[in-house]
Amino acid sequence: MHIDDANYTKASVGIAVSDYPTGPFDYLYSKQPHGYESRDMTIFKDDDGVAYLIYSSEDNSELHIGPLTDDYLDVTHAVRRILVGQHREAPALFKYERTYYMITSGCTGWAPNEAHAHASESIMGPWEAMGNPCIGGNKVSRDTTFFSQSTYVLPLPKIPGFYIFMADRWNPAQLNDSRYVWLPLRVGGAADMPLDYNFGFPLWSRVSVYWHRSWKLPDGWNG
């Protein structure tokens, strides 16, 4: 978890453990991973069981990524600086076939901004920019990630190439009343896709997050 104070000077990662995902959790400690400040962060577990920590650092001017230890309770010494000087935060990673993808936001405080999609053949980089993944709505909503900020991308194992894009819709005036936006995400070029899984959306040759005021998974999909 992200550990900080009111002035964002602690900039650390906290570790807690539990026998159940719903808790109770025992808080272990916090630290600045690899000796760097850590703000927006996420965890990604690869197919081989290795988990990685990805976090904004250097005053949010870049992202850092590195593997966790085998017990997932600390980072190893390996770390790579990515998207240096691009001022990206709110990383959300996922993998399709042999390619890694990541969605990030710009740094505009609590105000929403344009998302960027990135791709890499190696999780440690280099990462290639793919532009704004948002499709539909009007230009203002596309340029503000539908008035939200990326937080996670949930795989749908029964529908290869499809994911759920999860984002925070911040309410700066009352942060504890902030909400979530969940939207369908597709990796373009997914072959042999059953028609019922198209959600009525066009095929797109990139990562695409589609705006819909309401939507649902195909009938009979059980998770």
Domain residue ranges in the chain: 1-17+28-86, 88-223
Cα torsion 144, 148, 149, 155 to 10°: value is -110
Burial class (CB in 10 A: 0-12, 13-18, 19+), 85: exposed
Instruction: Quick: pLDDT tens for 123-154.
Output: 999 999 999 999 999 999 999 999 999 999 99
Instruction: Quick: pLDDT tens for 174-190.
Output: 999 999 999 999 987 54
Token pair belonging to 48: 């081989």
- Tell me the C-alpha distance between 28 and 39, whole Å: 19
Question: What per-residue confidence (pLDDT) applies to 222?
Answer: 58
Give the pLDDT band (50/70/90) at residue 202. Answer: very low
88-223 fold: Tachylectin-2; Chain A (2.115.10)
- Tell me the C-alpha distance between 208 and 153, whole Å: 12
Q: What is the mean pLDDT of residues 31-58?
A: 97
Instruction: Quick: pLDDT tens for 75-124.
Output: 999 999 999 999 999 999 999 988 999 999 999 999 999 999 999 999 99
Is the pLDDT at 191 greater than 50? The verdict is: no
- Tell me the C-alpha distance between 9 and 182, whole Å: 31
Question: What per-residue confidence (pLDDT) applies to 216?
Answer: 87
Question: What per-residue confidence (pLDDT) applies to 221?
Answer: 64
H/E segment holding residue 101: strand 99-105
Burial class (CB in 10 A: 0-12, 13-18, 19+), 156: middle
Mean pLDDT estimate for the chain:
91
Give how far the C-alpha of residue 27 lies from the chain's centroid of Cα atoms, to the nearest Å. Answer: 24
Q: Please provide residue 2's backbone torsions phi and psi, each rounded to the nearest 5 degrees.
A: -80, 125
Share of the chain above pLDDT 90, in %: 81
Residue at token pair 């990462």: 127
H/E segment holding residue 140: helix 139-143
Question: What per-residue confidence (pLDDT) applies to 223?
Answer: 54
Residues in the chain: 223
Question: What per-residue confidence (pLDDT) applies to 194?
Answer: 45
Cα torsion 73, 178, 110, 81 to 10°: value is 20
Give how far the C-alpha of residue 128 lies from the chain's centroid of Cα atoms, to the nearest Å. Answer: 16
pTM to 2 decimal places: 0.90
- Tell me the C-alpha distance between 223 and 216, whole Å: 13
- Tell me the C-alpha distance between 82 and 62, whole Å: 6
